[in-house]
Structures are given as structure tokens and as C-alpha cells.
């Protein structure tokens, strides 16, 4: 059986480096030019195979498949066949204007998206034939040796060969906000998921700090990133807007079929001219159709798109604006939406969980004097509070971090004494400590205290904090050389705890969305503990958090209920997110999804409205209907209100136009029976309809009542039908009174 790309990556990450080099014909000097040419011929360019962009004619044809446009095309064709050229020209002009406005507005938005795409880094540094070379990401092939530094984008799926203080941000793949430490040593063969590999980096990730060198294993669509992209090739499901327009179109078609049949029989039997009866019946069909609807809808949506562009929102697909207003459930990731998307030092406490300035000062000196590249946690410590350590301290030595010890130490001279300050994982620090300090009192670190320390560490971790411990030991001033062996008999001072804090605007915006009828659900790949802390702080219900493990093997019926009742989902895979979106839609909800990673793209594609940000990966932006230039729930709130205004004006025209047309045609049908002549000539019906519709072109600029935008608005075909049937004939009362006066 052929191995999957995930299995291939796991296999190469568990082999010795020599075997990996042998498999690809590579070495410490990288590939030579001939090997690169062969590899590119075998594997193709390092690009994700996305669906091709439609040509101009394909784009125009897809817009003509709109049910309303098809209805007008049929009427136009029949009018032309019946030699009613004036009617055919008028209807055809409406079709052209509607399609053209939509095309140019969306083309403008897509041009803005392309400008964003051009801002993304597109090169990487590789070793080929023993020389470092900067090449485009698409030119990378399996077997290439890649050099990675802080700020670099991981260009493919890579097995690390060497790494120093190497931290990678994988939030675009997993949703985890905390950078992941990576190492170069081979890992256990028991690993089942590629994301568990400590010596693998994935395409789409970014280097936060440190440096590394690795060999490329998979490229293009064979990467972990590419496998998720394959899910995006499925055709788009109909959205709430599509279903609403289709429902209204079929309502009008049913009315037309009944009216055309009745008019044809009545006129044919009373006037005895069946050709004239057919032409008149078709004119009634034209008269019943709100011909300007495609144009009114497009102008409404275009106006909404322009209004939203002023609020830092790019609308890629005009139809998504109405869907925006109909959203009653907004699913969102946590990082950067609810949180500030930056790690800060939240706590510095002693072992009794009381705030301690000593813990902060020692942690600061450790981060300040280390010579390795500072990771995101070190930067958080140094930015928390600036301390002047140069005047009182002098660096003596350093014991670098490694993955086995999970700690690092610096040695400084302070007040005539050499002080070793150690910072690292709590369990690793506790192992090398023999005493603890509270205030100025130092006591033996007995087992009971150790247990208390570990319990407090677990409590902090349970609250979503990333926790490190701080310890120290004093040495005589004449000792100048230090080693790992000196990290013993330390005195533990306390902990430093980090968090990606919630935005100040998150809680008020969530409350505002709730009052407007929008329920917010969090769907994240981050772990449940971190997610619970953040969601609780912004006021979301965290009484029952569902993790991805609980969804394995669950039936669709149970998942539908769970999706409806649960507010927060954590540790989700991309497939889980999509399943939840689809289940919510089957429960009758209109769902929006906000995300920026490759792991969010399948869910964005499935949602009625896919929302991304300008800093998102290309695949996420390609899947989105709307792109935010600022990742903020406040911007979303503005967009939802704008969508409701647009929908309100669309429905306003539909109800007015459809009921007016139905009333006119109801009068014409009755008049054709009672009067000895046709009440209106076919061209008069069309002209009357056109003049009325032209008067409605100002509707997109009409105001919408504040009460109307306070709740989600959806298509209600039954309501439109009842409005037509009730209001239309009422307007015919005066027409029938006129007929009877003329008899």
C-alpha cells in the first residue's frame, strides 16, 4: 500500500540523518544543479495547486447563471423570437448593466487582494553545491538544504538537521498562539501525527526566534499545508443569499406560469386571435417580472461594498454582504480576534503565589544577559518593565539552553558575589533545587513544599498561563568558569507566567453582537486550558468546552445538537471546524467564520460568509468572501449592520416591485376578459413596468430603520408571496372601477 505524505514525513524524521541524505542524494553541501533539475521534473514546483482563476468569459458566464438573470434571458429570447425587438433590447440592456456593475465592483476588490498578496515574502535561502543561494519559494525541491532565521517563512515540510534556540509559530496550522520549540535530534517512531514531530517544520509556519538548518522532505501539494488546501477544491455550497434569490425566482416563475396560461386562454377565447393572445401573455410575463431586480440588487451590494471599504473591509464577493447581515452565528478563532496576539508577562510571583519583585528582577537579568537569540518569552520579560542592571551587575558566564535540561543560566557579578540565575521549565528547575525563598527567608525544599509548588504550577497552567520557574545560587567571586554541574542545590524564587491577553474591546463587542442577535462561538486549534481562560475573561460561557478528541466518531445527529448548545470548541482539526459549520447550517443558522490560517480555510469555504484578514496566509484569503484590513470584532459588527441595511433595501424593492407588478397584471387579466379590447398593448406593459422600476433606482440610498438592523434578517419567501397576494389586488380595485365605468 502506498504511503501517505504524512507517513513519509514521520518516517524521515525518525531516521538517522545519513539515511535521509542518502534517500535524496543530498549532503551537507546540498543538491547540485543536475539533481535540482531532476527533482523538479519529478515533483514539480513548490506551489499549492489551487483552482485556476476564471477567464473573463468564464466569469461573465457564471454571473449569467444567476436565477434572476436566467429568467430575464428567457424573456429576452422569447421577445426576440416574437419580433418584439424593443422589449428584447430593453430587457437585454438591464442584463448587461447588472452583470457589468457586479463584475467591475468585484474586480476592484480582487485587485486589492492581489496587492496584499504581493506583500508576502517569496524567497528562501538554500545551500546548493556548497553555496548559500536565495531563491523563490516555488523553486525549492525535496532534498534542498534550507537555512532558517528569525522572521523567515518555512517554505516546505522540513526535517531539521541543526537548531539553536529555535521557536516556530504554527498558529496558521494549529491555532496555538504560543510558539513551539523545535530540536534537531531524531524522534520516537511511536509518533502518529506529523504535528507531534519535534524535529519537523511545516510549510506556512514562521520562525519566531533562533536559527536552524533543515532538509526539505515534501513540497507543494504534498505538504501538510497542501493536504488541507486539497479540501478547498470542492464546489461552493449555496449560501443563504443564493437560496433566497432562487426561492424568490421560483415564486415568480410559478406566478408567471399561472398568469400566462390564464391570459392566453382568456384573450384567445374572447378575442379569437391566438397569435395576439400568445404575444400578450408573454408581455404579461414580462410585466410580472421585476426586471430591475438584478440591477437593484447589484447597486445595493456595490454601495454596501464601498461603504465597508471605508471601514477597512474588502468585499471579494458582493453576495456575501447580504449574508453578512443574515448571520446569526459567528464562529471565530481566538488568537488575534479575542486576544491581542502578543505574549505579555502577566504574573511574577513567589512559591506562595504572592507578587514578588525579586522574581521579576532575576528573570529580567537572566533574559537581559543571555547571548542567544531572545525568544518571544524573553522579549515579554524585557518589555514588561525596564530595569537598569548595567550599573550594578556584570556578566561572568552563561550556560546555554538545551532541550534535555529545559533551562538556561547566566552568571553575573552582583555586590561582590557571583550569582547563577536559572530560568526554565518548572519541573526541570525543581529537580535541581534544594531550598526555596519567600521574602528574605530561605528554607529547605522538602517533599511537601515540592508538591505544593507543582500543584500551584498546575493551577496556573490550568488557567491558561505559560509558566517558567526562576531559581538562583551564589558562588564565590573567584569562580569564573561554570558548567551544567553548577546547576544544583539552587534556591527557587518563584514563577513567571505569560499570557496572550484579551483585547479591551472584545467583551463590549461580544455584548453588542449579542444584543444584535448574533451568537459568537469560538472554534480554535489551541488547547482547552488556554482557550478557557481567554473566553472566560471576555464573558463567554466556558462551563462546557468541547475538545477535538470528543468529536472523533461522533454521529452527525449528536454533533448537530452539540454544535448548537456549545459556545467554545478547542483543539480542533480543520475537518472538525468544517463539520461544526455544516451542522450549524443544517440547524437553520446562517454562519460566518473568521480565520487567518490554513487550518481555517475549509471552514471558511463551508460558511455562508468566510472572513479573513490581510495578514492571513494566501489560501485563507482565497477562501474568504470578505477580507478585513484590521483583525477586530468591532469591524465585523459594522459589517453586519451594513449587510442588514443592504438586505433591507433589497427586500423593500422586491416587495414594492413584485406587489405593484402583480396588481397591474391582475388588472390586465381581468380587463382582457371584461373589455372588448386589450387594456394595454404589450409595449405599453413593458414601458409601464420600466418607468416604475426606473423610479426605484434610488432605493440603494434609502435609509433603513434602526429597529430593522437590530436582528438578523433572512429571506422569507412566504412573507413576500402573502404581501404580493394581499397588496397587489388592493391596487387593482381602482383599475376595476375604471373598467366598469368604461363598459
The set of catalytic residues is: 333
Residues 453/436, Cβ–Cβ less than 8 Å: yes
Dist CA 427 CA 410 (whole Å): 19
Q: Hey, what's the cell of 603?
A: 471552514
Residues 76/90, Cβ–Cβ less than 8 Å: no
Dist CA 23 CA 12 (whole Å): 9
Q: Are strands 519-523 and 180-181 parallel, antiparallel or unpaired?
A: unpaired
Residues 495/468, Cβ–Cβ less than 8 Å: yes
User: 67-81 vs 293-309: helix axis angle to the nearest 10?
Assistant: 140
CA nearest to 545, candidates 537, 536, 555: 536
Q: Hey, what's the cell of 320?
A: 456575501
H or E stretch at 394: strand 393-402
DSSP state of 549: G
Dist CA 640 CA 506 (whole Å): 16
Number of H helices, E strands in the chain: 25, 23
Residues 357/384, Cβ–Cβ less than 8 Å: no
Residue 126 pairs in a beta bridge with 133, 146
Residues 98/245, Cβ–Cβ less than 8 Å: no
H or E stretch at 7: helix 5-14
**Cβ neighbours of residue 731 closer than 8 Å, sequence gap 6 or more:** 659, 660, 663, 664, 667
CA nearest to 295, candidates 553, 649, 599, 638: 649
Residues 164/588, Cβ–Cβ less than 8 Å: no
DSSP state of 622: H
**CA-based radius of gyration for the chain:** 34
Dist CA 373 CA 469 (whole Å): 20
Distances from the Cα of 83 to the Cα of 157, 264, 621, 663, angstroms: 64, 18, 48, 27
Cα atoms in the Cβ-side hemisphere of radius 13 Å centred on 257: 7
**Cβ neighbours of residue 178 closer than 8 Å, sequence gap 6 or more:** 343, 466, 498, 500, 530
- The residue written with cell numbers 487567518 in the block is 596
User: 506-515 vs 633-674: helix axis angle to the nearest 10?
Assistant: 20
Dist CA 528 CA 542 (whole Å): 10
Residues 468/376, Cβ–Cβ less than 8 Å: no
Collapse the DSSP code of 123 into the 3-class scheme (helix H, G, I; strand E, B; otherwise coil) and give the result.
strand
Residues 189/11, Cβ–Cβ less than 8 Å: no
Dist CA 167 CA 164 (whole Å): 9
Residue 42: exposure state from Cβ atoms within 10 A (0-12, 13-18, ≥19): exposed
Amino acid at each position: 500500500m502506498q504511503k501517505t505524505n504524512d507517513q513519509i514525513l514521520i518516517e524521515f524524521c525518525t531516521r538517522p540523518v545519513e539515511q535521509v541524505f542518502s534517500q535524496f542524494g543530498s549532503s551537507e553541501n546540498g543538491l547540485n544543479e543536475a539533481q535540482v533539475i531532476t527533482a523538479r521534473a519529478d515533483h514539480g514546483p513548490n506551489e499549492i495547486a489551487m483552482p485556476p482563476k476564471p477567464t473573463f468569459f468564464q466569469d461573465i458566464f457564471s454571473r449569467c447563471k444567476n436565477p434572476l438573470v436566467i429568467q430575464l434571458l428567457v424573456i429576452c429570447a422569447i421577445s426576440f423570437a416574437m419580433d418584439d425587438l424593443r422589449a428584447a433590447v430593453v430587457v437585454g440592456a438591464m442584463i448587461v448593466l447588472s452583470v457589468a456593475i457586479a463584475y467591475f465592483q468585484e474586480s476592484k476588490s480582487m485587485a486589492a487582494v492581489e496587492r496584499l498578496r504581493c506583500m508576502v515574502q517569496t524567497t528562501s535561502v538554500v545551500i546548493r553545491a556548497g553555496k548559500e543561494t536565495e531563491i523563490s519559494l516555488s523553486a525549492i525541491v525535496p532534498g534542498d538544504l534550507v537555512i532558517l532565521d528569525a522572521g523567515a517563512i518555512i517554505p516546505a515540510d522540513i526535517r531539521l538537521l541543526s537548531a539553536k534556540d529555535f521557536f516556530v509559530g504554527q498558529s496558521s496550522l494549529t491555532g496555538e498562539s504560543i510558539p513551539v520549540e523545535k530540536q534537531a535530534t531524531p524522534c520516537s517512531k511511536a509518533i502518529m501525527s506529523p504535528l507531534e514531530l519535534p524535529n519537523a517544520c511545516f510549510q506556512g509556519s514562521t520562525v519566531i526566534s533562533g536559527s536552524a538548518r533543515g532538509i526539505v522532505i515534501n513540497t507543494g501539494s504534498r505538504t501538510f499545508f497542501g493536504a488541507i488546501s486539497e479540501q478547498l477544491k470542492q464546489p461552493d455550497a449555496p449560501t443563504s443569499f443564493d437560496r433566497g434569490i432562487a426561492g424568490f425566482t421560483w415564486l415568480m416563475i410559478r406566478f408567471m406560469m399561472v398568469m400566462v396560461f390564464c391570459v392566453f386562454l382568456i384573450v384567445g377565447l374572447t378575442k379569437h386571435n391566438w397569435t395576439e393572445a400568445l404575444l400578450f401573455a408573454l408581455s404579461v410575463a414580462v410585466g410580472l417580472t421585476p426586471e430591475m431586480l438584478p440591477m437593484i440588487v447589484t447597486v445595493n451590494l456595490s454601495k454596501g461594498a464601498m461603504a465597508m471599504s471605508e471601514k477597512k473591509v474588502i468585499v471579494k464577493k458582493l453576495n456575501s454582504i447580504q449574508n453578512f447581515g443574515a448571520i446569526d452565528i459567528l464562529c471565530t478563532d481566538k488568537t488575534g480576534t479575542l486576544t491581542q496576539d502578543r505574549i505579555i508577562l502577566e504574573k511574577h510571583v513567589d512559591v506562595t503565589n504572592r507578587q514578588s519583585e525579586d522574581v521579576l528582577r532575576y528573570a529580567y537579568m537572566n533574559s537581559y544577559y543571555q547571548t542567544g537569540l531572545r525568544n518571544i518569552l524573553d522579549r515579554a520579560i524585557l518589555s514588561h518593565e525596564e530595569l537598569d542592571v548595567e550599573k550594578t551587575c556584570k556578566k561572568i558566564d552563561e550556560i546555554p539552553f538545551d532541550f534535555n535540561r529545559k533551562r538556561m543560566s547566566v552568571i553575573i557579578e552582583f555586590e561582590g558575589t557571583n550569582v547563577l540565575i536559572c530560568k526554565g521549565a518548572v519541573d526541570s528547575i525543581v529537580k535541581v533545587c534544594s531550598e526555596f525563598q519567600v521574602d528574605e527567608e530561605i528554607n529547605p525544599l522538602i517533599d511537601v513544599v515540592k508538591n505544593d509548588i507543582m500543584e500551584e504550577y498546575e493551577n496556573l497552567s490550568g488557567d491558561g498561563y505559560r509558566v517558567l520557574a526562576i531559581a538562583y545560587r551564589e558562588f564565590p567571586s573567584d569562580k569564573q568558569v561554570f558548567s551544567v554541574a553548577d546547576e544544583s542545590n539552587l534556591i527557587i524564587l518563584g514563577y513567571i507566567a505569560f499570557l496572550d491577553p484579551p483585547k479591551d474591546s472584545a467583551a463590549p463587542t461580544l455584548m453588542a453582537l449579542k444584543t444584535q442577535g448574533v451568537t459568537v462561538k469560538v472554534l480554535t486549534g489551541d488547547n482547552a486550558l488556554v482557550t478557557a481562560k481567554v473566553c472566560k475573561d471576555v464573558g463567554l460561557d466556558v462551563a462546557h468546552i468541547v475538545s477535538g478528541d470528543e468529536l472523533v466518531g461522533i454521529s452527525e445527529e449528536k454533533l448537530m445538537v452539540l454544535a448548537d448548545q456549545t459556545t467554545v470548541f478547542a483543539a480542533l482539526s480543520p475537518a472538525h471546524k468544517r463539520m461544526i459549520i455544516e451542522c450549524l447550517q443544517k440547524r437553520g443558522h446562517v454562519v460566518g467564520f473568521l480565520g487567518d490560517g490554513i487550518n481555517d480555510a475549509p471552514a471558511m469555504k463551508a460558511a455562508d460568509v468566510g472572513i479573513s484578514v490581510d495578514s492571513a496566509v494566501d489560501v485563507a484569503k482565497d477562501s474568504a468572501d470578505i477580507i478585513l484590513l484590521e483583525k477586530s470584532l468591532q469591524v465585523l459588527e459594522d459589517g453586519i449592520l451594513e449587510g442588514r441595511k443592504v438586505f433591507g433595501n433589497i427586500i423593500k424593492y422586491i416587495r414594492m416591485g413584485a406587489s405593484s407588478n402583480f396588481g397591474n397584471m391582475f388588472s390586465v387579466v381581468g380587463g382582457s376578459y371584461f373589455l372588448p379590447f386589450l387594456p394595454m398593448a404589450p409595449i405599453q406593459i413593458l414601458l409601464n413596468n420600466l418607468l416604475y422600476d426606473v423610479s426605484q433606482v434610488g432605493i440603494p440610498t434609502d435609509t433603513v430603520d434602526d429597529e430593522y438592523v437590530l436582528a438578523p434578517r433572512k429571506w422569507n419567501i412566504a412573507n413576500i408571496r402573502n404581501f404580493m397576494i394581499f397588496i397587489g389586488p388592493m391596487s387593482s380595485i381602482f383599475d376595476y372601477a375604471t373598467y366598469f365605468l368604461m363598459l
